[in-house]
Structure 1
Amino acid sequence: MAGGLARRLAAPLGTVTALAAAFAAVGAVDPNEAGHYPVCPLLHLTGIYCPACGGLRSAHAVALGDLGAALTANAVAVAAYAAVAAFCARWLVRAARGRPTAGPRPRPAHWWALGGLLLVFTAVRNLPFGAGLVP
């Protein structure tokens, strides 16, 4: 029975371990210091902030436990981190209980809504009145 539990937990625990290692690495190497990470090509070439700009800085702040700085760097990325954490927790619990781990599949309307949200976020953060969303 223990072998079955270990087999069921292998994928979710491996994923959580990889995510924790990624956050630890970003937490250890400050993206606010130049030269550690590549620059955003869209920002570099056009001066436009993409929806992911500030994502590494927000991950760094989350890794250090500074939620305010993380939200300032990129609020959408922080929401995505929370969603991924909730998904991983649900996956881990369902796998431990031996329940099916596949949840409901997003419908096309969900993907369109997410794309629209990211488009609006990108547009607003690049307009003068959206300066508070700039990393």
Structure 2
Amino acid sequence: MNAAPTASAPPTVLRRMGPPLAALAAAAVPAGYVAAVDPNAPGHYPDCPFLAATGWWCPGCGGLRCVHALAHGDFTGALHDNAVAVLLLAVLAVLWLRWAWAALTGGPPVRVSVGGRRWALIGLLVLVFEVVRNLPVGAGLAPLVI
């Protein structure tokens, strides 16, 4: 005698919110450390190997300073330290909010698709940012050196 298949209960809000909250914690812990330990003070973080080898700011240079500035409410300083990191963090925040809202309301999962052309455009924009911030005309895009 075969029993009729039973429908499983939908996951609870807490279970649905687990992955977005875990991702938030995984980002908040290192951000909290960077907020507490100032990257502008020498000796706390390693130097950028690309900067050390070439003398050029890489696209990630100033990223820790940017996170530190954002954590302390200094949006202008964060933009100066690394404008691309501010943009990336804003995009990630919007995506996380969409994910958390879908989990909270039980909506369909959020899907993000970036095609090859968009990846090429993103790469080109990051390359242009790297070159411009190393030219005299783009000196305002280079991190502050203290």
Q: How many residues are paired up? A: 135
Task: Kindly indicate whether residue 38 of structure 2 is the aligned counterpart of residue 42 of structure 1.
Answer: no
Map 1:92-107 → 2, pairs under 5 A: 92-107=100-115
Q: Distance in 2 between matches of 1:81 and 1:104?
A: 16
Max radius of gyration: which structure? 2
Unmatched tracts of structure 2, length 5 or more: 1-8
* Residue 58 (structure 1) aligns with: 66
Give aligned-pair identity as a percent. Answer: 47
Deviations 1:25-58, CA, capped at 9 Å, x for gaps: 1000000011101110000111011001000000
Moved over 4 A (4+): none
Name the residue aligned to 1:84. 92
Q: In the TM superposition, what is the alpha-carbon distance from 1:109 to its structure 2 partner?
A: 1.0
In structure 1, distance between residues paired with 2:112 and 2:139:
37
Counterpart Cα distance in 2 of 1:101 and 1:35: 43
| TM-score for the superposition, normalised by structure 2 | 0.87
Question: Map of 1:1-135 to 2, 5 A cutoff?
Answer: 4-135=12-143
Aligned residue type for 1:107: G
Deviation of 1:23 (Å): 1.4
The letter for the 2-side match of 1:39 is D
2:5 — aligned with what?
none
Q: If the length of structure 1 is used for normalisation, what is the TM-score?
A: 0.94
Task: Please list every run of 5 or more consecutive structure 1 residues that lacks an aligned counterpart in the other structure.
Answer: none
Aligned-residue Cα RMSD (Å) equals: 1.4
- Measured in 2, the distance between the counterparts of 1:104 and 1:49 equals 30
Residue 2 of structure 1 and its aligned partner are, at CA, apart by 8.7
For residue 60 of structure 2, what is the amino acid of its counterpart?
Answer: A
Q: Secondary structure at the match of 1:12?
A: helix
